[in-house]
Amino acid sequence: MTEASLIGLLFATVSFGALLYLAALGELLAEKAGVLNLGVEGMMAVGAVTAFIAGVELQNPWAALLVAMLSGALLASVHGFFTVGLGAEQVVSGLSLTILGLGLAAYLGKDYVGLPPGAELVPVEWGGLSDLPWVGPILFNQAPMVYLALLMGLTVSFVLSSTRLGLALRAAGESASSTDSAGHSVLGLRLSAVAAGGALAGASGAYLTLSITPQWAEGITAGRGWIAVALVIFGAWRPGRVGIGALIFGGTLALKTRLQTFGVDFSPIILSMLPYVLTLTILLIISVQARKRPSPAPFGLGLAYRREER
């Protein structure tokens, strides 16, 4: 293994990690507020395609990112309307959202398949930092989305742990009826969390088509939305741990395409099972521990709230 290929691997680990982190943070927000959204894969696909289209039409990567985030939030709001507004089953609505998102993405993008990108988010130059050995090319030569993901992680962590809004949000996910009694709108909190989650999934999709593989093709999200769902559990619903998990899972994605160049005789397909197997393992560990201390999952996760039924 040469130095250059190792640097390439670590660079890709960080960028895939950021991609997963953005989507997982979105899912974490929704789940913290009590809403399981299994539509991440669909929201990512819509974010990816709308970012690409907006890039081609507007020629501005930041406008494209904004369009993708708004589209993600809009799509997530469909889930919000059905599960929070009507109290429909979250699992069914979320899976339907994935179907809707994948269908919409294919429909919207059919005239853009194979086109050159109109806008790209190019790596940020950090002056002297970018020239440092090892650290420079791995950490200080990344697309802006990587730093945005880090910033979002810190923001989500701060908002959830140290602000009144975050407290209310977590309360809505733990016990909706007492949140309601305390005068907060469970409806408003949950809807906003779901929409914000969709915006982050959209941003994650945009990162794909504006930077990682700047083109549109159907199926470009390749199941990464499901990894994001897994990450939230892997990270025990804590933004920091989810970030560490994102790097580990990002590493498996980065390694998958490089095994052969490293001369490792191991099936990349088997390697790609790793995130799911790791998540299952962590889930078992959490539940064995849960006999001694409470489970980290929000208590009201998956439960609809209708005031008259409390």
Query: 227-260 burial, b if ≥16 CB within 10 A, otherwise e?
Result: bbbbbbbbbbbbbebbbebbbbbbbbbbbbebee
Query: Which residues inside 76-105 make contact with another protein, applying CB under 8 A?
Result: 78, 82, 86-89, 91-93, 95-100, 102-105
Closest CA to 220 of 230, 234, 210, 232: 210
Q: Which of these segments, 60-68, 144-152, 242-250, 268-276, binds another protein (CB under 8 A)? A: 268-276
CA–CA distances in Å: residue 265 to residues 6, 60, 192, 237: 17, 43, 47, 35
Tell whether residue 122 is a contact of another protein (CB under 8 A): no
**How many residues line the site for another protein (CB under 8 A)?**
51
Answer for which of 1, 59, 107, 158 binds another protein (CB under 8 A) is: 107
Q: Nearer to another protein by C-beta: 154 or 280? A: 280
Residue 237 makes contact with another protein by CB under 8 A: no
Given CA atoms 275, 276, 281, 285 in this order, what sign does their dihedral have?
positive
Residue 198 CA, chain-centre distance (Å), reads 9
Number of C-beta neighbours around residue 105 at 10 A: 29
Site for another protein in 12-51 (CB under 8 A): 36, 38
Closest distance of CB 86 from another protein, Å: 4
Site string for another protein, 283-302 (x = CB under 8 A): xx--xx-x------x----x
Interaction of residue 230 with another protein, rule CB under 8 A: yes
CB count within 10 Å of CB 122 equals 11
By CB under 8 A, tell whether 265 contacts another protein.
no
Shortest Å, Cβ 91 to another protein? 6
Q: For the packed helices 40-58 and 224-234, what is the interaxial angle rounded to 10 degrees? A: 130
CB of 114 vs another protein, minimal distance in Å: 15
To another protein, the closest distance from the beta carbon of 30 in angstroms equals 15
Nearest to 34 by CA among 201, 144, 186: 186
| Binders in 149-208 for another protein, by CB under 8 A | 180-181
Segments in the chain forming alpha helices (H)? 3-32, 40-58, 61-80, 90-109, 128-131, 135-139, 144-162, 164-174, 176-181, 186-207, 224-234, 239-256, 268-271, 274-289
Minimum CB–partner distance for residue 213 and another protein (Å)? 20
In the bound state with another protein, the residue whose beta carbon lies nearer, of 108 and 139, is 108
d(CA 164, CA 174): 15
Residue 106 in contact with another protein, rule: CB under 8 A: yes
- CA-nearest of 102, 10, 98, 69 to 210 is 69
What is the closest distance, in whole angstroms, from the C-beta atom of residue 287 to another protein in the complex? Answer: 4
User: Among residues 120 and 174, whose Cβ is nearest to another protein?
Assistant: 174
In the bound complex, what is the minimum distance in angstroms from residue 109's beta carbon to another protein?
A: 9
* Tokens encoding 17: 């990690």
Minimum Å gap between C-beta 95 and another protein is: 6
Binding site for another protein (CB under 8 A): 36, 38, 78, 82, 86-89, 91-93, 95-100, 102-107, 110, 180-181, 223, 226, 229-230, 233, 267, 269-270, 272-273, 276-277, 279-280, 283-284, 287-288, 290, 297, 302, 306-309
